[in-house]
Amino acid sequence: MGWDYTEITLDHFMNPRNVGEIKDADGVGEVGSIACGDMLKLFLKIDESGVIQDAKFQTFGCGSAIASSSMLTEMIKGRTVDEAAKVGNQEIAAALGGLPPAKMHCSVMGREALEAAIADYHGETVGHEEDEEESAIVCHCYGVTYEQVRRAIVENELRNVQDITNYTKAGGGCQTCHLDLQEILDEVLKAGGEAPVTENSESAAVPLTNIQKMLKVQQTIDTVIAPALLRDGGGIELVDILGNVVQVRLTGACASCAVSEMTMRHFVEEKLRQEVSPELDVEEIK
């Protein structure tokens, strides 16, 4: 399954601007880690009047991470530090002509690196280490904190757990933090005067026709399940739907994985029940 990238994104991926290191940088911000799959180091050269004269980056990540980092450096050069500080992840994504939903976390990483570099320029550090709740790790697979999740929900108006995964990567690994993510989501929405939203709230309200069920199963596989499996080199194909039994075939690395049964039960089946119907069962076809 391929990603639907814009021509601007492809250009910044194939021909990234401002790659490298500034030896005498006035501000350096580093976020992510190789262990988590994405890492970005941003270097800023700032003149006496507070204008960013140069910006360079080094990144380890996918095409979206490279494109987002490249675009970010182009956007902030020539701006004052205060002006650059207002650049958000949505602005980075918009400048690229949009990013696939599952790749929005790359634009968030760019915003976080910029904040860290500006904080370094001011002799400060980014974080809330003094607050145990805010600095607590929610997703141990990707090292995502409570505050990162909460902030992503507020700034991007996220409304379900899959949105949180798209913007932060939290919940994209073993899935065990999904309940914690839902609790944070409910907490933020409640604080804003909104009713909690669950992933299957819409599907539970009105029974689906057979055609609607088939379309929604395929859509969920294409937009939610397949992208998550692809991150680990795997894939999935819809074989058939017999009543409430969804027959699928795992491909790639997932086909020979020793924990494929766990993937089927604790991820594929769970996602289909959340997004389509709690009555669904999944059967793997070899």
Residue 168 in any domain: the answer is yes
Active-site residue, 257 included:
no
Tell me the two tokens of residue 240. 């058939």
Q: Which of 56-60, 109-113, 135-139, 180-184 has the lowest mean pLDDT?
A: 135-139
Arithmetic mean of pLDDT, 64-91 = 96
Query: Strands of 27-33's sheet, edge to edge?
Result: 27-33, 38-46, 52-60
Q: Which of 39-48, 65-74, 208-217 has the lowest mean pLDDT?
A: 208-217
Residue that finishes a domain, picked among 167, 191, 215: 191
Whether 1 maps to a domain, the answer reads: no
Residue of 62, 106, 139, 254 marked catalytic: 106
Our answer to whether residue 174 is catalytic in this structure is no
Same domain for 143 and 117, yes or no, is: no
271 with 186, same domain? no
Give CA separation, 142 vs 35, 51, 170, 198, 215, in Å: 8, 34, 6, 23, 32
Cα–Cα distance measured from residue 161 to residue 242, given in angstroms and rounded to the nearest whole number: 28
Give how far the C-alpha of residue 275 lies from the chain's centroid of Cα atoms, to the nearest Å. Answer: 18
**Which region among 10-24, 82-96, 179-193 has the lowest average model confidence (pLDDT)?**
179-193
Residue 196 falls inside a structural domain: no
- Expressed as residue numbers, the domain containing 74 is 7-121
- Between helix 146-156 and helix 104-121 the angle, nearest 10°, is 110
User: Of 140, 156, 191, which one is at a domain's C-terminal end?
Assistant: 191
Indicate the pLDDT class of residue 48, thresholds 50, 70 and 90.
very high
Q: Residues 110, 183: one domain?
A: no
Given this model, what pLDDT does residue 195 score? 60
What is the value of pTM for the model shown?
0.66
Contacts of 59-64 with CB under 8 Å at 24 or more apart are 60/32, 60/34, 61/32, 61/37, 61/106, 61/109, 62/38, 62/103, 62/106, 63/3, 63/5, 63/9, 63/10, 63/13, 64/3, 64/5, 64/9, 64/13, 64/99, 64/100, 64/103, 64/106
Residue 251 covered by a domain = yes
| In-domain check, residue 126 | no
User: 181 and 163 share a domain?
Assistant: yes
Q: Residue 107: name the closest of 88, 89, 91, 94 by CA.
A: 89
Do 183 and 234 belong to one domain?
Answer: no
Domain with residue 265: its CATH number is 3.30.300.130
Q: Which of 41-50, 182-191, 225-234 has the highest mean pLDDT?
A: 41-50
pLDDT band at residue 210, thresholds of 50, 70 and 90?
confident
**CA angle centred on 261, ends 257 and 265, rounded to 5°:** 135
The answer to whether residues 184 and 212 belong to one domain is no
Tell me: do 85 and 154 sit in the same domain: no
Which comes out higher in pLDDT, residue 253 or 183? 183
Q: How many domains does the chain have?
A: 3
Residues 152 and 104 in one domain: no
* 272: Cα within 13 Å, side-chain hemisphere: 26
Reported confidence tier of residue 62, pLDDT bands at 50, 70, 90: confident
CATH of residue 86's domain is: 3.90.1010.10
- In this structure, the answer to whether residues 24 and 100 fall within a common structural domain is yes
